[in-house]
Amino acid sequence: MSDTRNVSYHVESGVAVITVDNPPVNALAPGMREGIIDGLERAGADPAVKAVVLIGSGKNFIAGADIRQFGKARQINTSVSTAALDACEKPVIAAMQGYVLGAGLEHALACHYRIATPDAKLGLPEVSIGVIPAGGGTQRLTRLIGPKVAVEMISSGRHVSAFEALKSGIITQIVSQENLLASAISYAKDVAPARPLPRVRDMTDQIAYADQHPEAWEAAKKAALSKARNVKAPHCAVACVEAALTGSFEDGLALEQRLFSELEGSDEARALRYAFFAEREAKKIPGAPASYKPEGARSAAIVGAGTMGAGIAICFADVRVPVKVLEVTQEALDRGMKRIHDTYAVRVRRGSLTQEEMNERLTYVQPVLRYEDIGDADVVVEAVFERIDLKEDVFTKLDAVMKEGALLLTNSSAIDISTMAAVTRRPHDVAGAHF
């Protein structure tokens, strides 16, 4: 194995196995694309090798490119290794498990065949950091599964399960997690004689279908754009998918790479990369042992159902954490619940949420009138008016009813946290929360 490339190569039963090994998630660091290309060249030059398997070590396939390299000069173009997979004259099988994201899925799409374990999560989430795929992902995914599903996946950055990927046609088979490599080698032997090789870049059936049913594409395009009014990357993703329908693969790839370059250095992308790393740094607990794994909040409560309280309740419901909303009067509680309902209804009208999704999320919000009803919550957020006497009263009541160890949060930046902590007597953590 190369220490710099983290890519190994060996031959097993006439099948070359190229293994990507960059813990913990096999992100593509500098040199690793060259390692994949070297493996393909070795396999191509060896007459004893009839097929190739690309696999990731550990629990993941490839979880994307190394985000720390974004905005820096690159040794090779991001599409060179995917082009090498595509051009290989021997069949290449992507054997996928765990995360198959960004550049990981792009490399899988450039392989001729794709199999996955049930735990695989596939996606092109680049829009979440303000860019788009740059290794041919927009062009290959559109040709493989059609523009309607492709544009939704790429413009939203959504991950799909192995079962959804099988249904849509991204993968051809789901195999046992324990026998992934053995299954991939067996699969490779079966398809080794097949010619011509099924190169995704050359597929035209989905494009022809879209030409015959332009209304479906227009509806999908409109839906994608309506959900991305104030951000650039999803609009660029839509443009690239449309290019796959109207031009050659080379032209679409050129547009994809030009738009990626423009986005990569934008203020929007730099800010999102900063947020990406800041969120991960915030999860680290100073002094905690490496083996420590904090538990997540399984239930929450909000004191106050005004504008801020309702918004915070929605944040919990959106991530499927049951949340109780507390108010002191039925009238105020009814207003708060209506505010939550109306906020979700606006999302439905704008097309960013379906009615079914709205109904499901509302089931996570429970209105209550007594402090005793929230005592078992893992975390409670105070969101009442900006009056110190009122907040002190709230924390005094919380101290009396909340279970030991519950996290007590205030939504106020103007209140000294030590003042709130002073009114509590039992073991609680008191902190400021900004939503």
CB 34 within 8 A of CB 28: no
Q: What are phi and psi of 419, to 5 degrees?
A: -65, -45
Instruction: Walk across the sheet containing 99-101 and list its strands.
Output: 99-101, 121-123, 160-161
What is the Cα–Cα distance from 116 to 132, expressed in whole angstroms? Answer: 24
Structure tokens belonging to residue 219 = 């509806």
**Segments in 247-287 forming alpha helices (H):** 249-264, 267-282
3-state secondary structure of 64: coil
Give pLDDT tens digits along the chain (435 positions): 333 469 999 999 999 999 999 999 999 998 999 999 999 999 999 999 999 999 999 999 999 987 777 766 665 567 899 999 999 999 999 999 999 999 999 999 999 999 999 999 999 999 999 999 999 999 999 999 999 999 999 999 999 999 999 999 999 999 998 999 999 999 999 999 999 999 999 999 999 999 999 999 999 999 999 888 778 999 999 999 999 999 999 999 999 999 999 999 888 888 988 888 888 887 777 787 877 777 778 999 999 999 999 999 999 999 999 999 999 999 999 999 999 999 999 999 988 889 999 999 999 999 999 999 999 999 999 998 878 888 889 999 999 999 988 999 988 754 444 444 555 555 555 554 444
Domains of the chain: 7-264 (3.90.226.10), 300-432 (3.40.50.720)
Give kind and range of the element (H or E) at residue 334.
helix 330-350
Q: How many H-runs (helices) and E-runs (strands) does the chain carry?
A: 17, 15
| One-character DSSP codes across 1-39 | --TTT-EEEEEETTEEEEEE--TTTT-B-TTHHHHHHHH
Instruction: Tell which residue, 362, 367, 387, has the closest CA to residue 305.
Output: 367
Catalytic annotation, pick one of 34, 126, 264, 382: 126
- Identify residue 46 by its one-letter amino acid code: D
3-state secondary structure of 85: helix
279 counts as catalytic: no
126 counts as catalytic: yes
Catalytic annotation, pick one of 106, 242, 256, 382: 106
At a CB cut-off of 8 Å and minimum separation 6, what does 415 contact? 386, 388, 391, 432
Using a cut of 0.85, tell me whether the model's pTM lies above it: no
Instruction: Give the torsion through C-alpha atoms of 82, 86, 88, 93, to 10 deg.
Output: 90
Residue 203: C-alpha distances to residues 46, 54, 152, 199 (Å): 28, 22, 20, 7
Count of Cβ atoms closer than 10 Å to residue 229 Cβ: 10
